[in-house]
Amino acid sequence: MSEITVGELFIRCLKAEGIEIMFGIIDGAHVPFVVHAPRYGIRHINCRHEEGAVHLAEGYARIAGKPGVVFASPGPGAANMLAGLSSAYAEGHPILAIAATRRRMTTDPDRGGAWQATDLVEMARPITKFSALVRQWERLPELMRAAFRAALTGRPGPALIAIPDELLPTRVDAGKAPVYPAARYRMTSMGAGDPAWIEQAAEWLAQARRPFLHAGKGVLWADAAAEFGALGDYLAAGMSTSMGARGAVPEDHPRYFFLLDMQAAALARAEADVVLVVGSRLGEYDGWGLPPAWGDPAQQKTIQIDVDAGSIGLNRPVDLGIVADARSALRALTAAVQRRTAPRAEMADLGRYRELSAQTMGQARQYLTAAPTRGVNPGQMVAQTHAFCPRDAITVLDGGNTTLWGVAYHPIYEPKGFLYSVKMGYLGTGLPFAIGAKLAAPERPVYCITGDGALGFNIMELETALRENVPVVVIVAVDEGWGMERTAYTFQGFPPEQHVGVELARQTSYDLIAQGMGCYGERVEAIEQFLPALGRAVASGRPAVLHVAVDPALNSDPPGYKQFRQIRML
């Protein structure tokens, strides 16, 4: 008999899934499992808030292409995780949340007056794909498999496992609850889909005069950006991506249509005869895949490829739905197209669409040239960041209007080069996403462009970044307020003296907060100071914060504000 603790069994279950890193805040209850992590080659990242820890794990999961693991203490610690899980659930990112609970005698069910008794399993249910309490240690491996299976099958998402603290130090016979590798307990690839349907899709695409391809985040999750682009190039098709999948097609590609280039994208899609949608549910920011943002589904053929059967035909009717792994399916589809037709040289009417794009770009440029009355034009801050960072940088956006400037003036060129809380607009995710991303890809530069309000939510994670040696660069646009809400008041017709609750203290120095935590910090008051400061921030080799004083008036009137509202009214 091989005797180990349930805590060690827990770690073995993580190892079976290939977990190399986990996030969280320690509690005495966790000691029996965390103590084994180093021996199994699992690095623990000690965070400063459980919500932040989930965001770190989410940023990590997106870039690493692996589940993010987070643990939290009974009661408040695990409750703090829940807000973070709501993000991962909405965004469709796999997180395994582990919550210790207090002894079952007092908490299952709550006796009344018990220490740290919170019904985490029920609270997590609507924001996870699986949520369960481990009542018998013998079922631990099985429930862990169920959690990973749920998190990683179909559209990914979070799962929660709760475990009573008295179970973890218990010594047990490991032979009675075998642990085996991931490939033996869940689908690791959905394959290329039904070959007959791939042939049908290839037939339509080969005959199409105006094919159009749209990529969702599923393309990134399947590592299929190269295959997506190859098919688009072979067909000389127009291409677009969802907001979350930005970078799946380099945004300087001649046949790429940006989400906020709304008129050109809508027209190109409306005039297509065959539309291929890969790894996207066509949600709200995609205009639901319907007119006026897209063509009439009755007049065009729609092919949809998705790993999740439940996402097929969800928002736009399809003519052909293929449940498959995006990369395998795109490879098979491209080969089948190549057997039918020669590569196409040109996209019909590209010039006409590009005229519309140029008009939109022209309008956007006006914002860049506006002179600030004090501080910096936030658009110039973003444009200079863009010019500075290499093509393979990972850019993280956070904040209100700051994100609109970021979206307008910072094209993304590489897959997995862009992180933003698309489904939630969840302030405070930026810094933790950036740290998680850098942990997953230490060789790629990571820049977080954030509002001052947004940075405040999880700013203590700078200490995490310093301690764990994760040099991310944070560029904070300081307009001393919740800028987007100033815009919302103005938009609704209220003058500045009626703007309740939008001001933040002008005394706050984010550069000094960073320095106070041992990070690099510098203040920028004029645009000429920006690039040299950015260079020094990167050269410091430490986590860095550039406090950029932006003109509050300019920041209250960013490009794209109306378009963002407009999209959400379709």
Closer Cβ to Mg ion, 169 or 456, answer by number? 456
DSSP class of residue 519?
S
Any idea of the CA torsion for 357, 279, 417, 433, to the nearest 10 degrees?
Answer: 120
Binding partner at 193 among Mg ion, ligand TPP, none, C-beta below 5 to 8 Å by kind: none
Does 452 sit near Mg ion (CB under 5 A)? Answer: yes
Measured from the CB of residue 6, what is the shortest distance to ligand TPP in angstroms? Answer: 36
With 0-12 / 13-18 / 19 or more C-beta atoms within 10 angstroms meaning exposed / middle / buried, residue 535 is exposed
Does 399 sit near ligand TPP (CB under 6 A)? Answer: yes
Q: Figure out which of the listed residues 147, 235, 259, 484 binds ligand TPP, where binding follows CB under 6 A.
A: 484
Any residues with CB less than 8 A from the CB of 241 and at least 6 apart, and which?
A: 214, 215, 216, 219, 247, 248, 249, 256, 259
Residue type, 115: W
Q: Figure out which of the listed residues 193, 216, 289, 400 binds ligand TPP, where binding follows CB under 6 A.
A: 400
Closer Cβ to ligand TPP, 354 or 486, answer by number? 486
Binding partner at 427 among Mg ion, ligand TPP, none, C-beta below 5 to 8 Å by kind: ligand TPP
Q: Figure out which of the listed residues 406, 453, 471, 559 binds Mg ion, where binding follows CB under 5 A.
A: 453
Measured from the CB of residue 486, what is the shortest distance to ligand TPP in angstroms? Answer: 8
Closer Cβ to Mg ion, 116 or 377, answer by number? 377
Could you give the C-alpha distances from 57 to 20, 183, 188, in angstroms and in order?
Answer: 12, 22, 21
Closer Cβ to Mg ion, 329 or 502, answer by number? 502
Closer Cβ to ligand TPP, 276 or 474, answer by number? 474
Closer Cβ to ligand TPP, 234 or 418, answer by number? 418
Closer Cβ to ligand TPP, 86 or 464, answer by number? 86
Closer Cβ to ligand TPP, 194 or 485, answer by number? 485
* Stretch of 34-42, 170-178, 422-430, 506-514 lying at the interface with ligand TPP (CB under 6 A): 422-430
DSSP class of residue 129?
S
- With H, G, I as helix, E, B as strand and everything else as coil, classify residue 394: strand
Closer Cβ to Mg ion, 273 or 485, answer by number? 485
Does 477 sit near ligand TPP (CB under 6 A)? Answer: yes
* Stretch of 22-30, 102-110, 197-205, 480-488 lying at the interface with ligand TPP (CB under 6 A): 480-488
With 0-12 / 13-18 / 19 or more C-beta atoms within 10 angstroms meaning exposed / middle / buried, residue 438 is buried
Q: Figure out which of the listed residues 7, 417, 471, 483 binds ligand TPP, where binding follows CB under 6 A.
A: 483
Site residues for ligand TPP, window 533-562 (CB under 6 A)? 555
Closer Cβ to ligand TPP, 411 or 451, answer by number? 451
CA distance 308 to 277: 13
Site residues for ligand TPP, window 425-454 (CB under 6 A)? 425-428, 451-454
CA distance 524 to 346: 46
The structure tokens listed for 275 are 């539309």
Residue type, 485: E
Q: Figure out which of the listed residues 485, 509, 523, 557 binds ligand TPP, where binding follows CB under 6 A.
A: 485
Map 287-313 to HEC letters.
HHHCCCCCCCCCCCEEEEEECCHHHCC
Binding partner at 74 among ligand TPP, Mg ion, none, C-beta below 5 to 8 Å by kind: none
Angle of CA points 339, 345, 348, to nearest 5°: 110
With CB atoms as reference, the residue minimizing the distance to ligand TPP is 451
Does 451 sit near Mg ion (CB under 5 A)? Answer: yes
Q: Figure out which of the listed residues 27, 51, 271, 479 binds ligand TPP, where binding follows CB under 6 A.
A: 479
Closer Cβ to Mg ion, 342 or 505, answer by number? 505
Site residues for ligand TPP, window 495-514 (CB under 6 A)? none
Q: Where are the beta strands (DSSP E) in 126-189?
A: 130-133, 158-164, 171-173
* Stretch of 11-19, 351-359, 384-392, 476-484 lying at the interface with ligand TPP (CB under 6 A): 476-484
Closer Cβ to ligand TPP, 71 or 420, answer by number? 420
Is residue 166 within 8 Å of residue 306, measured between CB atoms? no
Closer Cβ to Mg ion, 74 or 481, answer by number? 481
Binding partner at 59 among ligand TPP, Mg ion, none, C-beta below 5 to 8 Å by kind: none
Measured from the CB of residue 482, what is the shortest distance to Mg ion in angstroms? Answer: 6
Is residue 401 within 8 Å of residue 378, measured between CB atoms? yes
The structure tokens listed for 316 are 């736009």
CA distance 76 to 115: 11
Measured from the CB of residue 461, what is the shortest distance to ligand TPP in angstroms? Answer: 15
Binding partner at 436 among Mg ion, ligand TPP, none, C-beta below 5 to 8 Å by kind: none
Q: In what order do the strands lie in the sheet with 544-549?
A: 418-419, 394-398, 446-451, 473-478, 544-549, 520-524
Does 406 sit near Mg ion (CB under 5 A)? Answer: no
Is residue 555 within 8 Å of residue 450, measured between CB atoms? no
DSSP string across 425-492:
--TT-HHHHHHHHHHH-TTS-EEEEEEHHHHHHTTTHHHHHHHTT---EEEEEE-SB-HHHHHHHHHT
Any residues with CB less than 8 A from the CB of 223 and at least 6 apart, and which?
A: 65, 327, 415
* Stretch of 181-189, 314-322, 421-429, 519-527 lying at the interface with ligand TPP (CB under 6 A): 421-429
CA distance 273 to 268: 10
Question: Long-range contacts of range 437-440, CB-CB < 8 Å, 24 or more positions apart?
Answer: 437/59, 437/60, 437/62, 437/63, 437/394, 437/396, 437/472, 438/394, 438/465, 438/470, 438/471, 438/472, 439/21, 439/45, 439/56, 439/60, 439/468, 439/470, 440/59, 440/60, 440/61, 440/62, 440/63, 440/64
Q: Figure out which of the listed residues 325, 479, 522, 551 binds Mg ion, where binding follows CB under 5 A.
A: 479
Binding partner at 430 among Mg ion, ligand TPP, none, C-beta below 5 to 8 Å by kind: none
Measured from the CB of residue 387, what is the shortest distance to Mg ion in angstroms? Answer: 23
- With H, G, I as helix, E, B as strand and everything else as coil, classify residue 48: coil
Site residues for Mg ion, window 480-499 (CB under 5 A)? 483
The site for ligand TPP (CB under 6 A) is made up of: 399-402, 425-428, 451-454, 477, 479, 481-485, 555
The site for Mg ion (CB under 5 A) is made up of: 451-453, 479, 483
